[in-house]
Structure 1
Amino acid sequence: MDALTEAVIAGAPPEELARADVPPDYVAAHLRIEDTGMFAGVEDKDVRKSLRVGRVPMPELAPDEVLVAVMASSINYNSVWSAMFEPLPTFDFLERYGREGGWARRHDQPYHVVGSDCAGVVVRVGSGVRRWRIGDHVLVGCIQVDDQEPATHADGMISAGQRAWGFETNFGALAHYAVARASQLMPKPGHLTWEEAASVMLTATTSYRMLISDKGARMKLGDIVLIWGATGGLGAFAVQLVKNAGGIPVGVVGSAEKAALLRRLGCDVVINRADIGIGGAATPEETVEQGKRLGRLIRKEVGEDPHIAFDYIGRATFGISVFVVRRGGTVVTCGSSSGFQHSYDNRYLWMNSKRIVGSHAANMQEQTETNRLFALGRLTPVLSAVYPLTEAAEAARLVQLNRHTGKVGVRCLAPREGLGVTDPELRARIGAERLNPLRPPG
């Protein structure tokens, strides 16, 4: 083990971290460009075959960047897409980014270090970095933006230069070290462990923008919100946000086990879609019938149709979402895990003045507001399992097969779980059980 890594694991002070040499290479979960065709004609694109864990070269740091020693990360579905090389190989993103020249050229490599969630320690700062210092405990936001593009200053998510870090860029978070722009950093909430903190930002901030931000559904006090996949990473945070904002969450899950977990999250209405025959491909007529069954059940439980449908499932649910929201209601979508091509009856949209809102990740202000809610203890992590970095491919496979709930964490440099807490008083006030509602006891 190199001196810098040893110092980080030992919790060394900033001056010792600054003295230790940066290693020439590091351990990372990564893809190789020569593997991009390995799943051609294969039905089960098993990410354990493509996601490798091994050493990669340490990149040079740009003036506006920081090098973070990654204590923990987590699995997001974008890493599953990357490892499946779908809908296209992410090496295409890296090649396109590299064509911009300058520092961007570093990203165009025959390997791609993936991962978009990170909690860690700053160990180096570029010459242009002002607000961060070696030794700071940080979270890394999942979006990089071009601060020289005018649109960025209205909303970073509508700028042409925004990229998903560790998906459309290289040197991501499923590794011992990661390179990020200083403008991506936020202070780590002191009451969370490394693995808890590393599991929250991408999904929680995406849910925040979808529901709370004026860029999303603009949820208000008393709104009834239909949440598909309500024990997933996005859905479990959506339940918490709706509750915090004074709304009524109606969560839909696919099994009795997930329904029990959803009740532990405090969801007001819990629906097991298997109980009412919702799921899978459906004809237009079947979609309407499924929507009617769901609508009747929601009205039975709360007396009204939902104001908002929170949908990241896509093809399997989108037509129902459009049908079931009330007149003037909103369907907000950020993804399509069951398929990108959606079908719905447009009459129910236009004749009832409904809206469809597309939402992607979150800008830095929205990320900061979400992080504030975690720092206050108003939002809590939704970890269900934690794997070591050596088993990152197994963790990604769990997410690929949808055999997980909440978020799946990955320990990178953290030698064991439970480390990184600097505010034990707040942690004690909140309670460890409340901080881990989806994890099995013990």
Structure 2
Amino acid sequence: MDSLTEALLSGASGEVLEREALPDEFDAAHLRAADVEMFDGVEDKDVRRSIRVGRVPMPDLAPDEVLVAVMASAINYNTVWSATFEPVPTFAFLKRFGRQGGSATQHDLPYQVIGSDGSGIVVRAGSAVGRWRAGDHVVVSCVRVDDHEPATHADAMMGSQQRIWGYETNFGGLAHYTVVKASQLLPKPGHLTWEESAGVLLTAATSYRMLISDKGARIKLGDVVLIWGATGGLGAFAVQLVKQAGGIPVGVVSSEHKAKALRALGCDVVINRAEIGLGAPESAEETIEQGKRLGRVIRREVGEDPSVAFDYIGRATFGISVFVVRRGGTVVTCGSSTGYQHTYDNRYLWMNSKRIVGSHAANLQEQAELNRLVARGKISPVLSSVYGLDEVGEAARLVQNNQHLGKVAVLCQAPREGLGVTDPQLREKIGVDALNPLRST
């Protein structure tokens, strides 16, 4: 353990942290460009083979960037995409980014530090950074934007230069240190531990934009919302957001174990897809038949068809989503864990004036609004398991095989669970069980 790490773990002041020398290298989960073709012709693209944990050089800091000591991070599905080199190797993103010149050139390397979530402590701030100082406890947004691009100031997700940190950039969060732009930081909720807070921002803010924002479905009081994969990271936060907005969440899961977890989240209607024969339809007729079956169950439970379908599953569910939402309803989609080519019967869309809304991550204002809800205890983490950085391959494999609930956290510099709480009063008021509804299931 170097002296900077000792200072971090002892709660040293910002002044002390600034005096400590930065290490020349640090531990990080990374991919190698030389491995890009390792899964060619392989059916099981096991991410434990491609993700490596080892020493990497400390990158330089641009004037508008911040160096964060990562206490904890989390696994997102984009880590699986990166580690399987699909749908395209992320090294292509790094090469394109590097061609911009300047500080971007250092992202184009023969290795990529991965990970798009993180909580930690600021240890250095660039000369152009006025908002953040060494010693600040922060959570990291996955969205890196070009502050000089006009579209960024209207909605960062419309900027052509927005990139997902640790996926389309280098120096991600599954490491002891990360370099991020100052505009990627928000204050860490004080009542949460490092590992709890590390698994919130990417998925919760994505769900917020999809459901609450004026850029998404714009749900309102009383809306019935169908949530596919309701115990995944996105889905578990979606359930909470719908409840907070006064809506009625209808969650779909694939097993009784996940159904139990969904009830622990307080979901109004829980549907085990295995019990009613919902699978991946292989024909238009089967899609409609499964949609009718699902619709009957929802109407029996709540008396009407859903206003909104929250769908990040993709090919296996999208046609059913379009069919099952009510006249004038909305299907809001991000990602596609079962495939990107979606098929649906357009008659049910156009003749019933339904909408499809594509959504990607969230802008900083949306993330701040979500982070405020978390900081006030209105939205709880959905942490289910915690791994060490040396076990990151196993953690990613769990997500790759959909064997997890909620979020899977990874301890980076934090030596154990339970650290990082600066507001114990709020934590006690909310209660540990309420903060961790999926840990006991």
After superposition, the C-alpha distances for 1:81-115 in whole angstroms (9 at most, x for unaligned) are: 00000001000000000000001001000000000
Deviation at 1:15, TM superposition (A): 1.6
Q: State the alpha-carbon separation in 2 of the partners of residues 250 and 74 from structure 1.
A: 26
In the alignment, the residues of structure 1 paired with residue 24 and residue 107 of structure 2 have an alpha-carbon distance, to the nearest angstrom, of 17
Q: Which residue of 1 aligns with 2:293?
A: 293
Identify the residue that residue 238 of structure 1 maps to in structure 2.
238
Amino acid at match of 1:270: V
User: What is the correspondence of 1:3-402 to structure 2 with a 5 Å cutoff?
Assistant: 3-402=3-402
Structure 1 position 12, deviation (Å) = 1.5
Deviation, structure 1 residue 231: 0.3
Misfit runs of 4+, over 2 Å: none
CA RMSD of aligned residues (A): 0.6
Query: Distance in 2 between the 1:131 and 1:85 partners?
Result: 36
**CA deviation map 1:42-65 (0-9, x unaligned):** 000000000000000100000000
Q: TM-score, normalised by structure 1?
A: 0.99
The letter for the 2-side match of 1:264 is A
User: What is the one-letter code of the residue matched to 2:158?
Assistant: I
Residue 75 of structure 1, CA deviation: 0.2
The 1-side partners of 2:7 and 2:51 are apart by 28
CA distance in 1, matches of 2:126, 2:88: 33
Query: What is the alpha-carbon distance in structure 2 between the residues aligned to residue 9 and residue 338 of structure 1?
Result: 41
Overall identity of the aligned pairs, in %: 74
Q: Which amino acid aligns with 1:326?
A: R
Aligned length: 441
Q: Deviations over 1:132-186 (max 9, x none)?
A: 1100000011100111111111100011010001100000100000000001110
The offset of 1:13, in angstroms, is: 1.6
In 2, distance between residues paired with 1:159 and 1:19? Answer: 37
**1:329-374 Cα shifts (integer Å, max 9, x gaps):** 0000011000000100000000000000000000000000000000
**Aligned equivalents of 2:125 and 2:14: distance in 1?**
12
Q: Matched residue of 1:274: which SS?
A: coil
Matched, 1:408 2:408: yes
- Could you tell me how far apart the structure 2 residues matched to 1:440 and 1:237 are? 17
Structure 2 residue identity aligned to 1:425: Q
- Deviation at 1:9? 1.9
Q: State the alpha-carbon separation in 2 of the partners of residues 60 and 15 from structure 1.
A: 21
- The CA distance in 1 between the partners of 2:160 and 2:437, in whole Å, is 38
Shift of 1:5: 1.7
Deviation at 1:18, TM superposition (A): 0.9
Q: Distance in 1 between matches of 2:387 and 2:309?
A: 33
Question: In the aligned structure 1, how far is the partner of 2:150 from the partner of 2:374?
Answer: 30
Distance 1:240 1:42 in 2: 39
| Amino acid of the structure 1 residue aligned with 2:347 | R
Tell me the CA shift for residue 2 of structure 1.
Answer: 1.9
1:379 partner SS: coil
Q: Which amino acid aligns with 2:335?
A: G
Which whole-Å deviations, capped at 9, do the CAs of 1:214-261 have from their partners, x for residues lacking one? 000010110000000000000000000000000000000000110011
User: Counterpart amino acid of 1:71?
Assistant: M
Matched residues in 2 for 1:41 and 1:352: separation? 44
Gaps of 5+ in 2: none
Report the 3-state secondary structure (helix = DSSP H, G, I; strand = E; otherwise coil) of the residue aligned with 1:331.
strand
Report the alpha carbon displacement of residue 440 of structure 1 after superposing the two structures with TM: 2.4
In the TM superposition, what is the alpha-carbon distance from 1:29 to its structure 2 partner? 0.2
Tell me the CA shift for residue 14 of structure 1: 1.4
Counterpart in the other structure of 2:427: 427
Tell me the distance in 1 between the aligned counterparts of 2:321 and 2:435.
Answer: 31
**TM-score between both structures, scaled by the size of structure 2:** 0.99
1:276 positional shift: 0.7
Which amino acid counterpart does residue 44 of structure 2 have in structure 1?
Answer: D
Once the two structures are TM-superposed, the CA of residue 10 in structure 1 deviates from its matched residue by 2.1
* TM superposition shift of 1:280: 2.3
Quick one: distance in 2 between partners of 1:439 and 1:163?
Answer: 32
Shift of 1:282: 2.1
Counterpart of 1:299, as a letter, is R
Q: Gaps (5+ residues) in structure 1? A: none
CA offsets, 1:2-31, max 9 Å, x none? 221221122222121111101111000000
Which amino acid is the alignment partner of residue 73 of structure 2?
S
SS, match of residue 62 in structure 1 = coil
User: What code does the residue aligned with 1:339 have?
Assistant: G
User: Secondary structure of the residue that 1:39 maps to in structure 2?
Assistant: coil
SS at match of 2:274: helix
